[in-house]
Structure 1
Amino acid sequence: MKASLLLLLGCTAILAVGARADEPEEPEALVRKVEEYAQKAAAMAKTAISTVQESEAAQQARRWLEDNAALAKQRLAWLKEQLVELWKGPPGA
């Protein structure tokens, strides 16, 4: 989950707590409520991340990466060689 989404959830929680306060409360109570909302949002984010990580698509992607790691290394080595040749410039220059 993106940090901006977590920030949005945090701001929403703060606004909800402020709007819910019918009578003036002590700042400690407000802080406690915001902390509770933040903990709930963090727990929801952790759950969402673990769900995505355990998904079939993520598992397939990991397997594909593991299977194709050698090929990727070969292609990166080739690209590096090409960049070195390009950096040297044309022969005889």
Structure 2
Amino acid sequence: MKVSLLLALLCTAMLAAGARAEAPGEPAALVRKVQEYVQQATEVARSVLTTVRESETAQQARQWLADNAALARQQLAWLKEQLTELWKRTPAS
């Protein structure tokens, strides 16, 4: 989740908690309500992230990245070998 979205949720939770507080002079009730909303938002975010992490699409993306990273390393090693050979063939001035 983006930080801006989390901040917006937190601000909304604080406003909602302020509106639902029994008495305007009770900051403890407001704090308790905000804590409850933040805890619920955290649980929802954790659940969504777990679902996304375990999704087939995420698994395929991780596999694609792993495969392409190995291919990139192989190509880099080949290029390094070619440059080394070229360097050896170049006559010294």
Query: In which range does the TM-score fall when normalised by the shorter chain?
Result: 0.7 to 0.9
Between the two proteins, the alignment pairs up a number of residues equal to 81
Q: Which runs of 5+ in 1 are unaligned?
A: 83-93
Question: Which residue identity is paired with 2:66?
Answer: E
Question: Which residue identity is paired with 2:27?
Answer: P
Deviation at 1:35, TM superposition (A): 0.6
Partner of 2:43: 43
Looking at both structures, which has the greater relative contact order when contacts are Cα pairs under 8 Å and sequence separation is at least 6? 1
Q: Which runs of 5+ in 2 are unaligned?
A: 84-93
Q: Select the structure of larger CA radius of gyration.
A: 2
Q: CA 1:34–1:41 in 2, change beyond 3 Å: closer, same or farther?
A: same
Question: Which residue identity is paired with 2:70?
Answer: A
Partner of 1:68: 68
The list of structure 1 runs, each at least 4 consecutive aligned residues, that deviate by more than 6 angstroms after superposition, is none
Identity across the alignment (%):
65
Partner of 1:55: 55
Question: Which residue identity is paired with 1:64?
Answer: W
- Partners in 2 of 1:75 and 1:29 — Cα distance? 62
Q: CA 1:76–1:50 in 2, change beyond 3 Å: closer, same or farther?
A: farther
Partner of 2:27: 27
With structure 1 as the length reference, what TM-score do the two structures score? 0.72
- Partners in 2 of 1:9 and 1:52 — Cα distance? 20
Larger displacement relative to structure 2 (45-54 or 63-72): 63-72
Q: CA contact under 8 A between 2:22 and 2:29: conserved in structure 1?
A: no
- Partners in 2 of 1:16 and 1:4 — Cα distance? 18
